[in-house]
């Protein structure tokens, strides 16, 4: 029941957004029955289904090659949906202003003149209207100049002749029209050129697209260009690899001998169907260039099984540091077989800290399991991790999610290293990340404990980073006694 209450609204929103995109990008910009309309409608069905397939393929146990085939178009489309929707919502303002301008420029709505009945000045008055001082006589009754006024209409001499009575002495009986029961014929069209009324184009109506169609196409093209540029830039940012950030953290208990100790902090590498071995190599090369004393991998290394991703993780074997590399689980390890991955990273020469700590020159390094492990009875255990240690020594704790900071403060930890947030990964999710985490990225203090959160080196879902570039952070510990 709870599952249905969550899934049904989410799917409704998902397909509702796609319906909106179809309306603005396809229906409003194409003609019914045309090839562009058919192609756009087909894409409106195929692309959301591909995205759903990409999201569900891993959990459904689909073959890894199929996951890779679905991942690129499916996840990139999700990113495009986000930015297309945002751009089109902005375009709604442009659209409303444009339509208002078009309405103001349209004619005032006066009825058009009757076709084929030009007046003396070349314009066609409507039926029953008069032009200047001259009234239009009815057809079929001769007037003084040979044209026929209506019966009972005064002649130029002021007399009202009866129907069929000659109006001039020169009129002969032979010239009088014979009586006929046929209805009066319409007047022959004038040979004089007919002038077009104001606001009338000389081109056929279909020669120029309507202004509303032009406006719809302009808004759709602008939104598509903006969304594609945003996703393209964000994808390039991810694939270029992480940048290096440096931060100095003073610790009151750190001895002078440990002053300047450098920890390369990396999180959220997210190896999977999109980010593979080449991505791992870029991360390792970035870390090694910093020449760290220690490497701390604070969770979410993978999005898949050891069987599928062991080759992608292999470059981690090349990590270099003076005191080794350490690892704690993140929430995604528990979706991918945490025990198997803990064993595998150990084979790669990395030291897992499962609710454990180790003594290093000048301070203790501790690590707790991610809170997601509580479902497998393997969640964080601070008592097990921190009990029995020398309280005069500084302690640095590795914990994947920053939400554990309040427990960390209670146990007197000096510095917590975390990831998980991705810094929001894609704007405007930065605001959601800020609302659900005590710290999104960077260094902050909570009582006597400091918390540093890295934005991570990879990406989950769409391989897109916008407003939150990936990083590897070199945390340099500073002694206040130095």
Identify the architecture of domain 242-479 in CATH: 4-Layer Sandwich (3.60)
Euclidean distance between the first and the last CA atom of the chain, given in angstroms as a whole number: 60
Q: Residue 19: what pLDDT? A: 94
Q: Residue 133: what pLDDT? A: 39
Under 8 Å between Cβ of 84 and 239: no
| Token pair recorded at residue 213 | 């169609």
Bridge partners for 446 per DSSP: 449
Distance in angstroms (rounded) separating the CA atoms of residues 259 and 250: 9
Mean pLDDT by 10 residues, the chain (482 residues): 75 92 93 92 95 91 93 96 96 85 63 46 43 41 44 42 40 45 54 51 50 89 96 96 96 94 98 96 97 97 95 97 96 92 96 95 95 86 91 96 94 96 95 93 95 97 96 96 75
* Residue 439 Cα distances to 44, 208, 371, 436, 444, angstroms: 38, 56, 17, 9, 7
Q: Residue 3: what pLDDT? A: 63
Under 8 Å between Cβ of 441 and 420: no
Q: Is 183 left (phi over 0), alpha (psi -120 to 50) or beta?
A: beta
Distance in angstroms (rounded) separating the CA atoms of residues 443 and 476: 12
* Residue 111 Cα distances to 115, 125, 135, angstroms: 12, 10, 20
Under 8 Å between Cβ of 461 and 276: no
Q: Residue 468: what pLDDT? A: 95
Distance in angstroms (rounded) separating the CA atoms of residues 182 and 158: 30
Residue positions counted in the chain: 482
Show me where the domains of the chain are located. Answer: 2-103+210-226, 242-479
Global pTM? 0.76
Under 8 Å between Cβ of 473 and 245: yes
DSSP state of 15: H
* Residue 10 Cα distances to 6, 13, 60, 70, 442, angstroms: 6, 5, 19, 21, 32
Q: Residue 98: what pLDDT? A: 80
Under 8 Å between Cβ of 408 and 399: yes
Q: Residue 257: what pLDDT? A: 93
């Amino acid at each position: 029941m709870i599952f249905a209450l969550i899934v049904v609204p989410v799917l409704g929103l998902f397909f509702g957004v796609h319906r909106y995109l179809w309306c603005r990008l396809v229906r409003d910009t194409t003609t019914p029955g045309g090839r562009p309309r058919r192609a756009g409608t087909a894409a409106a069905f195929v692309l959301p289904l591909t995205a759903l397939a990409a999201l569900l393929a891993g959990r459904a146990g689909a073959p890894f090659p199929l996951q890779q085939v679905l991942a690129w178009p499916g996840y990139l489309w999700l990113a495009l949906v986000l930015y297309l929707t945002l751009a089109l919502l902005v375009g709604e303002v442009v659209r409303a202003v444009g339509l208002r301008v078009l309405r103001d420029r349209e004619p005032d709505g006066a009825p058009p003149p009757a076709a084929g009945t030009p007046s003396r000045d070349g314009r066609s008055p409507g039926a029953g209207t008069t032009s200047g001082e001259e009234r239009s006589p009815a057809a079929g009754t001769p007037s003084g100049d040979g044209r026929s006024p209506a019966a009972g209409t005064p002649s130029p001499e002021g007399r009202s002749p009866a129907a069929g009575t000659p109006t001039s002495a020169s009129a002969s009986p032979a010239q009088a029209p014979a009586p006929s029961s046929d209805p009066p014929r319409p007047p022959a069209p004038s040979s004089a050129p007919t002038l077009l009324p104001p606001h009338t184009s000389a081109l056929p109506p279909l020669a120029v697209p309507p202004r509303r169609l032009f406006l719809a196409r302009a808004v759709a093209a602008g939104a598509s260009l903006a969304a594609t540029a945003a996703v393209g830039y964000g994808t390039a940012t991810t694939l270029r690899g992480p940048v290096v950030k440096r931060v100095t953290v003073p610790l009151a208990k750190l001895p002078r001998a440990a002053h300047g100790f450098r920890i390369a902090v990396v999180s959220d590498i997210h190896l999977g169907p999109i980010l593979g071995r080449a991505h791992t190599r870029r991360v390792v090369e970035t870390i090694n260039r910093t020449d760290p004393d220690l490497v701390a991998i604070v969770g979410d290394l993978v999005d898949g099984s050891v069987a599928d991703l062991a080759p992608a993780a292999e470059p981690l074997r090349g990590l270099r540091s003076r005191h080794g590399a350490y690892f704690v689980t993140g929430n995604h390890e528990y979706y991918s077989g945490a025990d198997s991955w803990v064993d595998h990273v150990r084979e790669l020469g990395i030291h897992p800290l499962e609710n454990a700590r180790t003594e290093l020159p000048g301070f203790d390094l501790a690590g707790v399991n991610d809170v997601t492990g509580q479902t497998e009875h393997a969640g964080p255990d601070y008592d097990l991790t921190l009990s029995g240690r020398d309280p005069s020594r500084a302690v640095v704790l590795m914990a994947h999610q920053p939400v554990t900071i309040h427990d960390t403060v209670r146990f007197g930890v000096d510095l917590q290293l975390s990831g998980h947030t991705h810094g929001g990964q894609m704007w405007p999710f930065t605001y959601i990340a800020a609302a659900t985490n005590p710290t999104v990225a960077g260094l902050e203090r909570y009582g006597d404990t400091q918390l540093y959160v890295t934005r991570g080196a990879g990406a989950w879902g769409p391989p897109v980073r916008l407003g939150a570039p990936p990083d590897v952070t070199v945390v340099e510990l500073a002694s206040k006694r130095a």
